[in-house]
Amino acid sequence: DLEKSTAHKDTMVPVKRRYLLGVFALCGVIIRFIQVFTDPNDSTLNKATWRNLQNTLMFFFLLSFNIMLLLAQQFIYGRLINITNIKRPEVHYLLLFVMVLAQIAMPGARILAREEPLLVVKGAFVSVIWTLFTLLAIWSMDIVFWVLSKCTTATPSKRKGRDHQDTASARRKARLAVLISTSMTLMGIYGALGEPRLVQTHITLDRLPCSMDGYRIVHITDIHLGLTIGSQFLSEIVARTNDLNPDMIVITGDLVDSRIEASKPGLRHIGNLRAADGVFYVSGNHDYMTGAYEEWAAEMQRLGVRVLHNERVPIYERDEDSLASSSRVGFDLAGVDDPTGRRFVKGHGTDIHQALKNLVPGREVILLSHQPITAGEAASIYGIGLQLSGHTHGGQIWPFAHFVRLVTPYVAGLYDIGDTNSQIYVSRGTGQWGPPMRLLAPAELTLHTLHCKS
């Protein structure tokens, strides 16, 4: 009876922890919901009060995340150590080290941000992903083995014979979970090593003048300078971009992701970008979440980058003889703020109408928007030819791409937008957010070559 009671308690503890995981996950979702839908333009809130509110909500969100992570770690520790009865102390110390490291990832990343990222920050983010992979592996195997047990029948005598095998089976499952999670983590780290691959696309636009056939746009997005991406990486991207000799360079958001004093020295490389028709930039959610977007935007403009704030500019055709700009407009380039902007800067946020009002009939329009969610309205109401976006990272780390599809059907690559003649290209991102990992979603530097229909 005592053995049965102990076994019952051992099975109940993980169940209770799963409920607690769900409770704190729900708390995090509620806090983010409040954070997203509170209005900074409320006249009753001054700027200082608004900043304090955002900081308080972020604190409780991070607190919920870290408590949820701690519960997951306790569950994993129980399954990998207690059930398998591992006696070697170095295994205990290693697992505890990984768990402590993971706890500093979210709250400490921006505090520890430097021009070149610290190894401890990279290790912290990797530890978080390893924890999530291990948790998913354990739960997946629990489900699989439970289904298999339901599909097989056993007599009472056979069940007694199986009891002594439970511990051995638990050990095998624990070892297999560690093997799977560690393998996936190492594959992810390997996938982020080296330079982003060059992706070349050829896109036909119905209204593009044939004098601009072969127009080349280099598309950079989601570098996230400051957390696990440093100055040297950005310098290499700038050099590769210039080697492509583009007509235009566009940056579709999330260029920075840290305190301005940490990443401003690295941002100087952006001033070395060269293109015949210039460099254009639109904001991303992480640019605003640094809390210093206006300073970042001013620095970008000082470096010679045109910041598009819910507006559009004409791009002129070239004279074939002189290769200089003519007086004929080839297409309009429009850019919108990220929706997150409304929470951080008064007057910011996506305003497609402001950017696309009074379009010239018959003139092609290319829209820069960090998030793909603007594509439906821009295509169905305004009839844009092409939207260039980022934000999704292509999921960055499998299997998270499947969760991205719950938010938008446009995850990575070139798509037709519904039943319209509009298209959208979503880049997987040139850098990465957080973990220096890429699993089945390689980083990319994209070269778009435009063609006229005829």
Q: Which of 14-28, 50-64, 405-419: highest mean pLDDT?
A: 405-419
Q: Does residue 377 surpass a pLDDT of 70? A: yes
Q: Note the pLDDT of residue 158.
A: 54
Question: What is the C-alpha to C-alpha distance for residues 411 and 393, in angstroms, rounded to an integer?
Answer: 8
pLDDT > 60? residue 32 = no
Least confident of 44-48, 257-261, 272-276, 448-452: 44-48
| pLDDT exceeds cutoff 90 at 99 | no
Residues comprising the chain, all counted: 454
User: Among residues 103, 105, 94, 32, which one has the least CA distance to residue 68?
Assistant: 103
CA distance 103 to 125: 9
pLDDT in tens, 174-200: 888 889 999 999 999 999 998 999 999
Q: Is the pLDDT of residue 41 over 80?
A: no
Q: For residue 106, what pLDDT band results from cuts at 50, 70 and 90? A: confident
Which residues lie across from 197 on neighbouring strands? Answer: 444
Give the tokens for residue 315: 């791009």
Structure pTM?
A: 0.85
| 56: pLDDT strictly greater than 50 | yes
User: Mean pLDDT, to the nearest integer, of 385-414?
Assistant: 93
pLDDT at 373: 94
Give the per-residue pLDDT at 282.
97
The whole-angstrom separation of Cα 343 and Cα 34 is 11
Provide the token pair at 224: 């996230």
By CB neighbour count within 10 A (0-12 exposed, 13-18 middle, 19+ buried), where does 43 fall?
Answer: exposed
Q: Are 432 and 228 in contact (CB under 8 A)?
A: yes
Give the model's pLDDT for residue 261: 81
Placement of tokens 């924890």 in the chain: 131
Q: Is the pLDDT of residue 274 over 60?
A: yes
- Residue 188 and residue 91: Cα distance in Å, rounded? 23
- Residues 260-274 have a mean pLDDT of 90
Q: How far apart are CA 201 and CA 448, in angstroms?
A: 5
Tokens of 384: 């844009």
Let me know: does 389 contact 427? Beta carbons within 8 Å: yes
pLDDT per residue over 206-257, tens digit each? 999 999 999 999 999 999 998 899 999 999 999 999 999 999 999 999 999 8
| Dihedral angle of Cα 298, 299, 305, 310, to the nearest 10 degrees | -30
Q: What is the dihedral of CA 367, 292, 24, 68, to 10 degrees?
A: 100
The conformation of residue 326, written as its DSSP 8-state character, comes to E
- Phi, psi (rounded to 5 degrees) for 368: -100, 125
Name residue 86's amino acid: I
For all residues of the chain together, what is the average pLDDT? 84
